[in-house]
Amino acid sequence: MAKAKAKTGNPFLDADLGNIMDFGKFAGQFKFPVELPGVDTTALIESQRRNIEAITTANQVAFAGAQAIVQRQAEILSETLDGTTKAVQAFSKTGKPEDIWAQQADLVKEAYAHGLSNLRELTELSAKAGAQAAELLSHRVTDGLDELKGAFKPVNGGAEKAAQ
């Protein structure tokens, strides 16, 4: 049975945050005046809804990038284990010491080059996901500032006075 939440009288503390993803319902809990002088409150609320959507989308992009990195790391681990098994089998063969050492040097060189290639690939995956998320947020900040500017209207003929 759900326990009733005590009312504090503060609309922000008494808000039901379970509805935060539905910004219209969430914002509707707060009793904004229909009109504030010089402020388009509807535009401000809508702008904040778009901000939350942009943050959610950026988080989804970043999470998908992190998933791709983890998946690729698992593939790299599997490839590395296969390579290690083959290397151990190759080292267990007998032969001249100089041949074995040359073979070991070649395997180390190949493993090092492969490791660098994997590191580069993982870095690129990370940078791509980060850049996509940052671009989404950058566009939203620019749009949000334009929306904020447009939400404020001159009060009592302020535009006419400023034009004179």
Per-residue pLDDT 10s for the chain (164 aa) are: 445 556 766 665 566 655 555 655 655 666 655 566 788 888 888 898 999 999 999 999 999 999 999 999 999 999 999 988 888 887 777 778 888 888 888 888 998 999 999 999 999 999 999 999 999 999 999 999 999 888 887 666 544 444 44
The number of beta carbons lying within 10 Å of the beta carbon of residue 73 is 13
Max Cα distance, the chain (Å)? 97
> What pLDDT, on the 0 to 100 scale, is given for residue 75?
93
The number of beta carbons lying within 10 Å of the beta carbon of residue 83 is 14
H helix or E strand, kind and range, residue 67? helix 41-91
Integer Cα distance of 93 and 107 in angstroms? 14
